[in-house]
Amino acid sequence: MTRIAGISFLVMILLSLPGLGQAPENIGDIPDGNRTIPLHLLKLYDEFDHLIRPDEKPVMPFSPKQTCRKCHDYERIRRGWHFNAADSVPPGRPGEPWVLVDALAVTQIPLSYRPWGGTYRPGSVGLTTFGFLSIFGRHLPGGGVGEGEAMQDLGDYMRWQVSGTLVINCQSCHNGDPAQSQSEYGVQVLRQNFRWAGTASSGFATVQGSAVEMPDNFDLYSAVPPERSGFLPPTVMYNASRFDPSSRVLFTVPRRMPHIQCDFCHSSKVIDPSAGQRWQEEEDVHIAAGMTCADCHRNGLDHMMIRGYAREAGETGNPAAAEFTCEGCHCGVEGAQVPVEGRRGAPRPQHAGIPPVHFEKLTCTACHSGPWPAAKTFRVKTSRAHALGIPRADKSDDALPHIVTPVFARQEDGTYAPHDLLWPAFWARERAGELVPIPPERVRPVVKEVLQRDTSRIIGRWPVLTDQEVLEVLRRLTAVDSVSGKAVYVSGGKVLFDDGEGILRRREDRAAMPTLWPIAHDVRPKSKSLGARGCDDCHSTDSPFHFGTVAVASPFVATRDSVTHMTDYQDITRVSAWIFSMSFLFRPGLKWLIIVCFVLVAAVVLISAVRGLGHLIQILAAGEE
C-alpha cells in the first residue's frame, strides 16, 4: 500500500512538471501523420476567454479566435494572405480592389490597403478602419484591420467598444456544416455586430439586434435596455441541443473544403445578354472535374495562400508556388528535382500547331479563362464589389460599380492576360500636381443641391450629368474649401476641370486611368479556349482580342456609350495589329503556295540527284571496264 501510494505520488509530481502530462500548445498544428481529421468537439470561449455555457445570462457570442487558438497558432495564421492586407507585406500581383460606391456623389473609387497601382487607401477617402469594415466587412473573413488596434481611429473608439473587434472567423472557410451561413455573417457585419458575426454564421446560434443602432455608451453586459425603444441590442441565443453535457459543440471541419465555401466572396456574374439562363452556363473546368479551390490555392499553417500566377514563386520567395501554377500542374517545373506535373491528373497540353512565342507573350489565362470575348466587353458583377450573396443586394445588371471584362491587357512582365477593368469616378482636389479624393459624403449634399432631378430614388445607379452640372458642383466644392486646392472630377478616363472661363475642360491624367486586375476564372475547357477554332480566333481583323472595344463607364450623356480600343492596353498599335491580322487572310493560300514550291524544288533536286547518281555509276562502271 505504501509502495502504491509512493508511486502514485511520484507520478503526480512528474505530471505536474511542465511539458509532461499536459496537452502541448498548438496541438492542432502538429500532425502525427494520421490522415483523419481530429474530432472538433470544442468548448466555446468568448472574446475574454471565458467559457460559454448556453444557459448563462447574458450569454456571450463565442469568439472564433479564443476558441480555435486553444489548438492552433492564431498569431501565425493572422499573417496569412486573407488577413494581411494592411500589413507591410509585398503586395504581389494586383488583385480585385474594394470599390467604394456612392451613386448620389457619382463616385466609384477603387480602394485597397495593399499598395496596388490605381487604388487608394481607404483613409484617403475618409474611411477609418471601422468605416471600412462597416461597408466591406461583409465579404471579409475577419482579422486584419478588424482587429488591428494600431490602425483604429480615436473617433471610433466608442463604436469599437459597442461592436467589438472583427476577429478572424475561421468558420468562413473551415466550417463544413451545411448550416454555416456566410450570408448571415455579412448581414451581421453590416449591422456592425462584429463580435457576434462569427457566432451568427455558425448555424447553431441566432443573433438578433443591431450594434449600429446602439448608443456609444451601450453596455454589453447590462440588463438595462437601450434608451431608444424599438431598437434591439445584439443578443445571441444558442441552440442548446448542439451542446453536449460538457458544453462542447461539434464542429464539422473537413480537410478539403468544397468550392462553395470560397464562392461566397469569390463569385462573379458576367452580364452577357446573349448568354442563356443560369442552367445553361458552365462552371470552371477544374470544379467540374471534381476539384476544389484549395486543390490549387493551397497554404500551410501560415495561411499564405498560393495565388497561382506565374511570377509568384519569385516574388514571394516560395519556390513551392511554382508547382501550383497552370504550368506547374500541367507541364511541370523546369529544373525540378522530382517531377511535379500531373497533379490531380492534370493533362499535359499538346498545343498542336501553336508557335512557341505564344507561351512567352500570353498567360495561360489569356486563352483559357474568363468569358469568351465578344466585340465589346461585358459588364461583370463580383461578390466583393456588388455584395453578391447578401440579402437585398442590388440584383440589377447595371448596379454600380460598373466593371467590365475581359480586357486583354499587357501586364508588368510583358505578358498578355485577361483583366477586369474599372473606370474610377470621384471628385478630388488638385494639390501640387496630385489628385486627392474628396470623401463622397462631403460631395453628396453639393451634388444633390445642384441636380434638379429627384436623386433620392437612385438605387445603385448614378445620375446622368451634364457639363454644366459638373461645372456647378466643381465651383461649389472649390468655394467651400479653396485652400485645399481646386476641385476636379475624374471620370471616364479623363480629369474634368473648370478652366476659369466657364468651360469644362478635359485632360488626360494618370489618376483617371482605369484600374485593371487580372482574372483567372472561370477556366474554359480545351475545346472552348481561344485558338480552338484556328488562328482566326485572335488573328483576324475583327477579333475581340485585338479589336474589341472596352466600354467606358461614365455618368455623362455625351460619353455614355464611348469606348476605348483593346489595343490601348497592349503594346501594339491598332494599325500594326490590323496589318498582321490581314496577313492571316491570305495565309491558307500562301501556305499551299509554299507547299507547291517546296514540292517543285524538291522534285528538281531529287531528279538532278538521281541523274547525277546515274552518271556517277556510269563513270565508275567505265572506270572498271
Partner 1 sequence: MTLFRILAAVVVIGLTGAILYDLRRQRSGGRNFWEFISTQTGIALDLWRERRRLGPGSTLDNLRRMAYGLSVAFFLLLGLTGFLPVLILGDRLSGTLLIVHVTVAPLFALCLCALALLWAHRLRFDEEDWQFVLEPAHRKAPRLERRVRLALKVGFWLVLLFSLPLMGSIILSLFPLFGTEGETLLIRVHGYSALLFLAASIAEIHLTILYVQQISKKSSGEIPS
Contact with partner 1 (CB under 8 A): which of 2, 88, 337, 350?
A: 350
Q: How far is the CB of 571 from partner 1 (least distance, A)?
A: 9
Number of residues that bind partner 1 (CB under 8 A): 36
Q: Which three cell numbers stand for residue 315?
A: 516574388
352 is a contact residue toward partner 1 (CB under 8 A) = yes
Q: How many CB atoms lie within 10 A of CB 398?
A: 13
Provide the Cα torsion 46, 49, 51, 56; round to 10°: -50
Contacts of 589 (CB under 8 A, 6+ apart): none
Contact with partner 1 (CB under 8 A): which of 357, 432, 483, 621?
A: 357
At 206, phi and psi to the nearest 5? Answer: -120, 135
595 is a contact residue toward partner 1 (CB under 8 A) = yes
Examine residue 94 and say whether the peptide bond preceding it is cis (omega within 30 degrees of 0).
no
Which of these ranges, 165-173, 480-488, 546-554, 594-602, lies near partner 1 under the rule CB under 8 A? 594-602
Number of residues assigned to the chain: 625
Report the DSSP beta bridge partners of residue 497: 505
Please give the single-letter amino acid code of residue 358.
Answer: H
Q: How far is the CB of 88 from partner 1 (least distance, A)?
A: 37
596 is a contact residue toward partner 1 (CB under 8 A) = yes
Q: How far is the CB of 351 from partner 1 (least distance, A)?
A: 5
The CA-CA-CA angle for residues 407, 140, 194, to 5°, reads 155
Number of H-type helices and E-type strands within the chain:
21, 18
Contact with partner 1 (CB under 8 A): which of 219, 480, 615, 617?
A: 615
Q: Which is nearer to partner 1, 366 or 490 (CB)?
A: 366
Contact with partner 1 (CB under 8 A): which of 275, 585, 605, 610?
A: 605
Which of these ranges, 212-220, 344-352, 394-402, 540-548, lies near partner 1 under the rule CB under 8 A? 344-352
602 is a contact residue toward partner 1 (CB under 8 A) = yes
Contact with partner 1 (CB under 8 A): which of 591, 610, 614, 617?
A: 591
Q: Give the whole-angstrom CA distance, residue 277 versus residue 287.
A: 19
Which of these ranges, 119-127, 180-188, 226-234, 347-355, lies near partner 1 under the rule CB under 8 A? 347-355
Q: Give the whole-angstrom CA distance, residue 329 versus residue 324.
A: 6
335 is a contact residue toward partner 1 (CB under 8 A) = no
Contact with partner 1 (CB under 8 A): which of 135, 354, 464, 563?
A: 354
Burial status of residue 550 (CB atoms within 10 A of its CB: 0-12, 13-18, 19 or more): buried
**What are the b/e assignments for 34-57, b being 16+ CB within 10 Å?**
eeeeeebebbbbbbeeeebebeee
Contacts of 266 (CB under 8 A, 6+ apart): 293, 383, 521
32 is a contact residue toward partner 1 (CB under 8 A) = no
Contact with partner 1 (CB under 8 A): which of 375, 459, 479, 579?
A: 579
Q: How far is the CB of 295 from partner 1 (least distance, A)?
A: 25
Residues forming contacts to partner 1 in the complex (CB under 8 A) are 349-357, 359-360, 572, 576, 579-580, 583, 587, 590-591, 593-598, 600-602, 604-605, 608, 611-612, 615-616, 619
